[in-house]
Structure 1
């Protein structure tokens, strides 16, 4: 594909977005490494339990970034810069409110939530400690999501990359200091993450506040605007819950098959997730560019940009699939997998690789429709796609067919999103 000015615009947004997407999950990776080195296996298990809860919260609240991106981009495209910034401020107030609510609800419920995992008593106590302290960082974490959405909507993905990398470095340094240097135990790891997340939130607050001041936008809460942001977020939350249900059901089915199958599924899922970051970066560009073009009333540009991003998604998926096939013989060795896990993993890497071109198209179209503000359709499509997946997964007799069930789900998403994108109902122009 020859590089065009439109391609350069897509890459200008997608490449920094990819870096930020990769940096965010490294928070927990750094925690695991430092806790494992300083506190041992029991603490790592406790961190795994608390980390699963926190990761779920992050995934469920990602609508704060996506919804804000779409709203701000559309207003920006329409030339309504004051309204764009007001939408961003409202999104950040919504994030703050949800973060405070999670602390109020999560603090007393933390022991009950951790006990659901059935960990040993010592691990349970440590997991509750980590989770409760980490909850204090949820307002900052959610403000980062909303602030990221604001800047993406303003066509700026470089600042989120810088903040993500700086926050990761700060998190790693503080974790090492608190856990290894000051001997604070697992609580030190949690405090390090809370401080890093809060520092990142402060950067976004200052950035948005300065932009709002230049436009004369008051920073106080606007209840009607916050309510609009929350209403738009409900549909995206439903979509996200459907995605989580699919992944949780797939994990449960793999667990039922046996320990080797579960280990192979977990490793294959990590590879799938890493490739999803690369493809989702193009989807983020799709959110920003689609919102801006529709806000400007330019349907022709929206169509052209969508076609080009679908091509980028398709060919990126082809390249990623080929990389998995080429690396397939050595991947099990990277994880020190035993022979049984190796055999299962080598088998499932074929469907993982073959599905990547479909994933590339699906992720792009998902981002385009989010950018268009077509959240209600995405919610209903998520429900129906999940219903298609469930019978295919629940009756899968082995791991390969379980991944084929995930393939059925991806094809269902491709049909639902492709049909919608081919039509015109989502092409709503103006602010």
Structure 2
């Protein structure tokens, strides 16, 4: 079982690490031009796409869960129909994004703001990159489907290919064709379609035989569609809560002062860095949980859950031991500003505690997504956001300031894991007891 977990987890970790690498390369490309406004342009434009793609990440999650369950049931017809159904939803969403790109841009820049020069460049960046949205969203679905089919190698290859193509094209457009931030947008959009092409090639190479089972009747099955949209709605609400918490965290950091904003922005990167690794095991949990739920193999499900928590706890302990003596050194690598480093000292214990406090929430998310236990996951996030994070901050902020913000974040992550632990039996195990095969 450990081999199955690692076979899925390691490629996903590699895929996750390529995401921040690309962002750093884009910033480096802009950083070598003659003005800082280009960095600001891709930063502002990037925020909009982060919201769009993070908001629609439910497409990948639900596709993984449904596909893994159909795979476990050995239901080939439903397995391929899930892909067709999700791609149809992507087509509808993509058309809406492209049709309403002007009001999306207008509303986004009204909220985000920025200097006239930066905003002008960011609008150009957005107007080019938005045409890559259909490919980006389609890749969400394909990557989720491949993972549900217990194949993490293809998404890894696709992710690496997209990033390499993106870097090469962006560098060409920026330094050879002198397209500044617009060149980065064009390189990103083209690379997303290249990634979709690569995913399509892999699909037709290994899974083309399944396409004969796709039918309009299967795609439009009302009972299945109802559950499909219910699960996706629940996951969307869950994701919205996470976006709200992290956006609130950044907003309140900025309202304190620029130094606190810089400190929190750097420290939160250490949480995100940990998430790149722990998410690899969460993704493995999605695939394997879905598989054993679909196959009604309760014993195997319990075993994989236990092992996932062993791996998660070990990883959390490793990062805690890394951050405990090394967080100051990491900060010095990330910034040379002495004031920021010194101002961060009182808040370093929070980041040391983050891996231990948060690993269970990441692992459980993967398990719940694989089981498509979306209602319990949605309710957990609503409670954690509005009954834990928000009250902790608002009651303690007048006395604790930034410490209240970090305590709220820590308890938000911890409470998610605790509640999902409590709900595990009712939400996942009990429905399987009467239908188990082992």
- TM-score grouping bracket, smaller chain normalisation: over 0.9
Matched with 2:354 is 355
Classify 1:228/1:208 alpha carbon distance in 2 versus 1 (closer, same or farther; 3 Å): farther
Classify 1:141/1:424 alpha carbon distance in 2 versus 1 (closer, same or farther; 3 Å): closer
Matched with 1:218 is 214
Higher share of residues assigned helix: 2
Q: Is structure 2 residue 42 aligned with structure 1 residue 42?
A: no
Q: Distance in 1 between matches of 2:220 and 2:182?
A: 36
- Runs of 5+ consecutive residues of structure 2 not aligned to the other structure: none
Q: Is structure 2 residue 127 aligned with structure 1 residue 148?
A: no
Q: Is structure 2 residue 327 aligned with structure 1 residue 309?
A: no
User: Are the aligned partners of 1:344 and 1:399 in contact in 2 as well (CA < 8 Å)?
Assistant: no
User: Are the aligned partners of 1:89 and 1:219 in contact in 2 as well (CA < 8 Å)?
Assistant: no
Q: Is structure 2 residue 90 aligned with structure 1 residue 91?
A: no
The alpha-carbon deviation at position 382 of structure 1 amounts to 0.8
Q: Distance in 2 between matches of 1:75 and 1:325?
A: 43
CA deviation vs aligned residue, 1:201-221 (integer Å, no higher than 9, x gap): 122234335555302233879
User: Are the aligned partners of 1:73 and 1:292 in contact in 2 as well (CA < 8 Å)?
Assistant: yes
The correspondence of residues 45-124 of structure 1 with structure 2, limited to 5 A, is: 45-124=40-119
Q: Distance in 1 between matches of 2:235 and 2:113?
A: 31
User: Are the aligned partners of 1:143 and 1:204 in contact in 2 as well (CA < 8 Å)?
Assistant: no
User: Are the aligned partners of 1:69 and 1:371 in contact in 2 as well (CA < 8 Å)?
Assistant: yes
User: Are the aligned partners of 1:369 and 1:426 in contact in 2 as well (CA < 8 Å)?
Assistant: no
The alpha-carbon deviation at position 381 of structure 1 amounts to 1.2
111-120 or 175-184, larger mean C-alpha shift: 111-120
Q: Is structure 2 residue 339 aligned with structure 1 residue 344?
A: no
Q: Distance in 1 between matches of 2:356 and 2:202?
A: 37
Q: Distance in 2 between matches of 1:107 and 1:241?
A: 23
User: Are the aligned partners of 2:12 and 2:152 in contact in 1 as well (CA < 8 Å)?
Assistant: yes
SS of 2:33's equivalent in the other structure is: helix
Number of residue pairs matched?
Answer: 426
55-64 or 191-200, larger mean C-alpha shift: 55-64
User: Are the aligned partners of 2:61 and 2:369 in contact in 1 as well (CA < 8 Å)?
Assistant: yes
User: Are the aligned partners of 1:18 and 1:278 in contact in 2 as well (CA < 8 Å)?
Assistant: yes
Matched with 2:369 is 370
User: Are the aligned partners of 2:298 and 2:429 in contact in 1 as well (CA < 8 Å)?
Assistant: no
User: Are the aligned partners of 2:328 and 2:341 in contact in 1 as well (CA < 8 Å)?
Assistant: no
Classify 1:40/1:227 alpha carbon distance in 2 versus 1 (closer, same or farther; 3 Å): farther
CA deviation vs aligned residue, 1:351-399 (integer Å, no higher than 9, x gap): 1111212311221111101100101111111111101110212342332
TM-score (norm 1): 0.94
165-174 or 418-427, larger mean C-alpha shift: 418-427
User: Are the aligned partners of 2:77 and 2:214 in contact in 1 as well (CA < 8 Å)?
Assistant: no
Q: Is structure 2 residue 420 aligned with structure 1 residue 417?
A: yes
TM-score (norm 2): 0.92
Matched with 2:286 is 287
- Runs of 5+ consecutive residues of structure 1 not aligned to the other structure: 1-5
The alpha-carbon deviation at position 10 of structure 1 amounts to 0.6
